[in-house]
């Protein structure tokens, strides 16, 4: 589990096809401190732009993760190239501060960036939720976009808005997003189970 509070910004260094090329291995460079405190181990989970991935190889300033064809198809990872920026978060430990909301790293689909409009000191971003998931987005509820925990401001059909403060823009990949781009979308876990229960009534 994660909190949606990004603690490092990594960069894709290599993209390696696996097997018949349907899966992929990504080598991600990051500041050594991210891997050192506490020391990362092979098999550890790291949230990579919203996707929970397992560390399969470690270096002093990089780590490698494998992504299946299902993960590539459902997320933005299929578009990762050398130089792509990746939001990173280590998995939660008991006793850690829960600064955002509980994020599983299980991406539901991709949301489309519609617009980014300056609003006072922040930027109001508007997104279109993935097909079939708009009902899980609620005003003042939580959503994870590219692994970033955000509070929803308003919802109009499939479209919802969030505000991004300068700090978040500076420490995440939001600083490079443009209208038309897609981001990994994870609905709030609680909303997911409530919807499941209502479906059986």
- Whether residue 124 is found in the same domain as residue 192: yes
- Whether residue 76 is found in the same domain as residue 149: no
Q: Which of 35, 63, 90 is the last residue of a domain?
A: 90
- Whether residue 195 is found in the same domain as residue 119: yes
Residue 22's pLDDT is 87
- Whether residue 161 is found in the same domain as residue 86: no
The Cα 119–Cα 49 span in angstroms is 25
Residue 96's pLDDT is 72
Return the exposure string of 186-201: e unless at least 16 CB atoms fall within 10 Å of the residue's CB, then b.
bbbbebeeeeeeeeee
Q: In terms of residues, how long is the chain? A: 201
pLDDT tens-digit profile of 118-150? Answer: 999 999 999 999 999 999 999 999 999 999 999
Rounded average pLDDT over 156-178 = 95
**Per-residue confidence band for 182, with pLDDT thresholds at 50, 70 and 90:** very high
Q: Does residue 24 sit within a domain?
A: yes
Q: How many domains does the chain have?
A: 2
Residue 93's pLDDT is 77
Residue 112's pLDDT is 98
Q: Does residue 100 sit within a domain?
A: no
Q: Does residue 29 sit within a domain?
A: yes
Does residue 94 carry a pLDDT above 80?
Answer: no
Q: Does residue 99 sit within a domain?
A: no
Q: Does residue 41 sit within a domain?
A: yes
* 96 DSSP assignment: -
- Whether residue 126 is found in the same domain as residue 190: yes
pLDDT tens-digit profile of 37-58? Answer: 788 999 999 999 999 999 999 9
Residue 197's pLDDT is 66
Find the domain containing 45 and state its range: 8-90
Residue 193's pLDDT is 64
Residue 64's pLDDT is 98
Q: Which of 90, 124, 147 is the last residue of a domain?
A: 90
- Whether residue 115 is found in the same domain as residue 75: no
- Whether residue 114 is found in the same domain as residue 73: no
Task: Indicate yes or no: pTM above 0.85.
Answer: yes
- Whether residue 187 is found in the same domain as residue 120: yes
Say which CATH number the domain at 159 has. Answer: 2.40.30.20
Determine contact, residues 64/25, Cβ cutoff 8 Å: yes
- Whether residue 22 is found in the same domain as residue 69: yes
Q: Does residue 96 sit within a domain?
A: no
Query: Three-state DSSP class for 74?
Result: helix
Residue 145: both structure tokens together: 């976009």
Residue 196's pLDDT is 63
């Amino acid at each position: 589990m994660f909190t949606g509070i990004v603690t490092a910004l990594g960069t894709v260094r290599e993209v390696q096809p696996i097997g018949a090329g349907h899966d992929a291995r990504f080598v991600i460079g990051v500041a050594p401190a991210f891997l050192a405190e506490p020391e990362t181990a092979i098999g550890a989970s790291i949230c990579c732009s919203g996707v929970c991935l397992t560390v399969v190889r470690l270096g002093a300033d990089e780590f490698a993760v494998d992504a299946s064809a299902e993960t590539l198809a459902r997320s933005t990872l299929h578009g990762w190239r050398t130089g792509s920026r990746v939001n990173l978060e280590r998995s939660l430990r008991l006793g850690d501060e829960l600064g955002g909301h509980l994020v599983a790293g299980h991406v539901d689909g991709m949301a489309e960036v519609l617009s980014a409009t300056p609003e006072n000191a922040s930027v109001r971003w508007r997104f279109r939720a993935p097909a079939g998931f708009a009902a899980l987005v609620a005003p003042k509820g939580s959503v994870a976009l590219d692994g970033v925990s955000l509070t929803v401001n308003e919802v109009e059909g499939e479209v919802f808005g969030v505000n991004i403060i300068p700090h978040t823009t500076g420490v995440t990949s939001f600083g490079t997003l443009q209208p038309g781009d897609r981001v990994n979308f994870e609905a709030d876990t609680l909303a997911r189970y409530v919807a499941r229960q209502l479906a059986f009534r």
